[in-house]
A and B are shown apart, each in its own frame.
Chain A
Amino acid sequence: MKKITTISLSVVLVIAAVTSCENDLPTFFKFSAYEFSDLDVDGGSWQPILFSSASDIVIEEPVAVNSAEYQAELASLKSATQNISGRQRNAVEYWTNNPVIRWNEIALELAAKYNLIPPPNPDGTYTLPSPANPQGPPPFPFAHPPYTSRMLAYLSVAQFDGLIAAWHYKYEYNRPAPYVTDSSIPYAYKKNTLPSYPSDGAVIAVVSRDILKAMFPLEHDYLNAKAEEHLNSLMWSGSNTTSDIEAGKAIGTTVKTAALARASTDKMSSAQTPKPVSDAIKQAAIDRFGWSWDNQEAPQRPVGLTPLFGQVTMWSVPDVEDVRPGPPPAPGSAEFQVAANELKNIAKNLTERQRKIANWWSDGLGTYTPPGHWNRRAKEYIVKYGLNPIRTARTFAYLNMAVMDAGIACWDAKYYYHYPRPIQTIPGFKTILGTPNFPAYTSGHSSFSGAAADVLAYIFPAETNEVRAWADEAGESRIYGGIHYRFDAEVGLAQGRAVAAYTVARAQQDGADD
């Protein structure tokens, strides 16, 4: 009996000891509402992306603060801030005073949820996701890296344009925050002098909800619920009255309409080609270069991923051929052999450090993809540097336009050169990462990362060394993973940086640096 007691006691002690080492598992970025480093009072004069200027977006003039109508709004806001429940308080704390970050996270989570490659049918054929039948199977979309880069670009551009319009009217009408007009109204966040009409939060809630609904048609209920909670939190937090919110929603609706109009004509809908078109693209590469890429899965996928993504309309680069690199070394050439031997040596002597780098940047199926990875890093810098919502939206907009353009440029090269992967050229070669369903040259990770790092270096100059080192490591990770040759990664990085040069040049002209 004494032994049983001893054993029981040991059990409890071991469980207690082990449990105490358990780590917190965060499901979103933990940060609190913070003081903005600057309010960007001239933000309304910045150059939008989809409009010629902020005044193209029209809203009603607000009623005067001393009007009976506004006083009634204040009274109703005051009552909304009182006796809020625990759930409402959690919502206020979750959304913070920079909700652009939360919508970016929601977008990343949906990307991860939908980044699943269609499975084969029992007869060995594949059915592709279709927006006409989003339920599938397979469900629409397959949120692969090109899809996700484009989704994030439209989301961020719409958020940015919406906030330029919001800032424009905030400082045109100068309606003070509710807590300024009525000091008995509590405010949940950090006080500042930003005018409250129209509500910047409402702009963000509506554009984000509606862009994401277009991108993820099976998530309407989820997105409506998120937006509703966000819009309600604007009152629970004491941020905005009803007319502030309605004006913000009107801006959001105008901007999302323009963004989705561009999306409907950017040629993404023809990026995933039928087999005859795909075969013609492959034959063109054989005629030009004498080589071609083939999918190595079983059963073989008849068409690679989005062969014509390279023809999608770019944001900042006039012509995709402006950033098309020269050809890779021919398979079998001496230069190729050096690269292939490097891969064989790495696979044979893989170090733990190399394995970790390969996995750290793998961002493969089922994850938020490399564009998502860079958005996450941008988000962390945004909070670190205390950016306000319009600066935040600008950061994401240029980041994601550059990343999407880099993807377009990379995909142009991938299908123009149609270069085979290491598992195709090196007999018996095994890898620690799955080889994606598209040609090797140039590396998508490298191109995305080269572009992302340079935009972040422009916005956060003090972080230049860190972000460039990350981009280099992201490129290197594909070599360690055995799925790219060194020249894919090196040329991809340079290609991404060449794309970002156009993006940064555009950003420097938008008025925000003045």
Chain B
Amino acid sequence: MKKILLLGTFFCIAGMLYGQTFSDAIMMKKKEICFAFMFDQGKWDQYWEGTTLITNDNIGTFTRNMYMPMIAYGITDKLNVLLVTPYSKTESTGGQLAGVQGFQDINIGVKYEAFKKDFGKHRVSALAVVQFATPMTNYLSDYLPYSIGLGTQEFTGRVIGQYEFSKTVYLRGSAAYVWRGQTQAERPYYYANGSYYTTYMDVPSAVNYQAILGGWALKHNLRLEANYTVLNCVSGDDIRRWNMPQPTNKMEVTQAGFFVQYYLKAFEPLKGFSLMAAYGQVLEGRNMGKSTNFSGGITYQFTF
């Protein structure tokens, strides 16, 4: 594994967090193993109530910190497996509601390189990824925007295509469907465009698209990327006027960001390490915070 980017964490879109890792075109070779640790901080002081962008002084500035240990392994050159166990911590400057913290959802993914072909100096590749996530702890999802996660099982199927020009510049696109199940609230009744006499909530499934323009510099030690990401729920209700969000909401987000990674190949004692940094800004949304995210991380890779 060569890179990891943390996209925005808003109310709690777990599926976006590891977007880059699970959606890039890079494969680890057989018996290569990679450990990574990342930190991401997302902040917002405006959010979309339905499609209306508002401020709420009883939230003030909302902060979500994510700590993400990750491991990836090359089963073969064409089949990699990835595992992430994020820890989330939330707080806000306004109001009196208590923030929460704890482990979120364990994410397991398998990435398969289905096609790779060189045309002179150019290279085309196509990959498929399946990903499964499930809560690691019994956190309460029905405590948005503070909750640790959406508290549901999540199953993602993704296809990726990349075109690399002269091994210096590349264009990549990916598309995914994120199937989500139910979450259990702790109240026996809720309203979502009608009465629900149950503790269970359907969490809307989502589609996810990403476009990336990337390139290499400094003798292939530095990588730079610009990304544009859309994650839209395919169903769900809107936050009602001046009401709390809930996991049944139709969350939508469009985000643009930058990513940079530097490989310490030239420094003999540190040659398995790389450093990463990323920035992301939510441009458009629905039932989400207008989050600005900064992240940093370190990876260590070796052959097992």
Within B199-227, the residues touching A (CB, 8 Å) are 200-202
Q: Contact at A360–B198, with CB atoms within 8 Å?
A: no
The interface size of chain A toward B, counting residues with CB under 8 Å, comes to: 56
User: Taking CB as reference atom, which chain B residue is nearest A137?
Assistant: B241
Q: CA A118 – CA B243 in complex, angstroms?
A: 10
Segment of B92-100, B261-269, B291-299 engaged in the interface with chain A: B92-100
Q: Contact at B240–A116, with CB atoms within 8 Å?
A: yes
Q: Which of A296, A297, A359 contacts B140 (CB 8 A)?
A: A359
Interface residues on B, range: 35 or more
Q: Contact at B200–A23, with CB atoms within 8 Å?
A: yes
28 sample A-B contacts, Cβ–Cβ < 8 Å, listed by A number: A3-B78, A7-B130, A11-B157, A15-B179, A21-B181, A25-B196, A26-B198, A28-B197, A109-B191, A116-B240, A116-B243, A117-B242, A298-B60, A355-B186, A356-B186, A359-B142, A359-B185, A362-B187, A367-B187, A367-B190, A368-B189, A376-B188, A376-B189, A430-B96, A430-B99, A431-B98, A432-B98, A434-B97
Q: CA A363 – CA B195 in complex, angstroms?
A: 13
B10 interfacial by beta-carbon distance below 8 Å: no
Question: Which residues of chain B are near A434, meaning CB under 8 Å?
Answer: 97, 244
Question: Which residues of chain A are near B185, meaning CB under 8 Å?
Answer: 359
Question: Which residues of chain B are near A360, meaning CB under 8 Å?
Answer: 186-188
Q: Contact at B195–A105, with CB atoms within 8 Å?
A: yes
Given contacts A11-B155, A18-B155, contact A116 B241 (CB under 8 A): yes
Q: CA A108 – CA B269 in complex, angstroms?
A: 68
Q: CA A183 – CA B267 in complex, angstroms?
A: 97
Within A360-376, the residues touching B (CB, 8 Å) are 360, 362-363, 365-368, 372-373, 376
Question: Which residues of chain B are near A366, meaning CB under 8 Å?
Answer: 190-191, 240, 243-244
B118 interfacial by beta-carbon distance below 8 Å: no
Chain A: minimal CB distance from B52 (Å): 11
Given contacts A4-B112, A109-B191, A434-B97, contact A297 B128 (CB under 8 A): no
Q: Which of B96, B182, B186, B201 contacts A296 (CB 8 A)?
A: B96
B110 interfacial by beta-carbon distance below 8 Å: yes
User: Taking CB as reference atom, which chain B residue is nearest A10?
Assistant: B130
Q: Which of B57, B138, B196 contacts A352 (CB 8 A)?
A: B138
User: Taking CB as reference atom, which chain A residue is nearest B146?
Assistant: A432
A51 interfacial by beta-carbon distance below 8 Å: no
Question: Which residues of chain A are near B112, meaning CB under 8 Å?
Answer: 3-4, 7
B114 interfacial by beta-carbon distance below 8 Å: yes
Question: Which residues of chain A are near B166, meaning CB under 8 Å?
Answer: none
Q: Contact at A429–B96, with CB atoms within 8 Å?
A: yes
Q: Contact at B58–A297, with CB atoms within 8 Å?
A: yes
Chain B: minimal CB distance from A57 (Å): 32
Given contacts A3-B112, A359-B140, contact A109 B241 (CB under 8 A): no
Given contacts A10-B130, A22-B181, A359-B185, contact A347 B191 (CB under 8 A): no
B18 interfacial by beta-carbon distance below 8 Å: no
Q: CA A19 – CA B112 in complex, angstroms?
A: 25
B194 interfacial by beta-carbon distance below 8 Å: yes
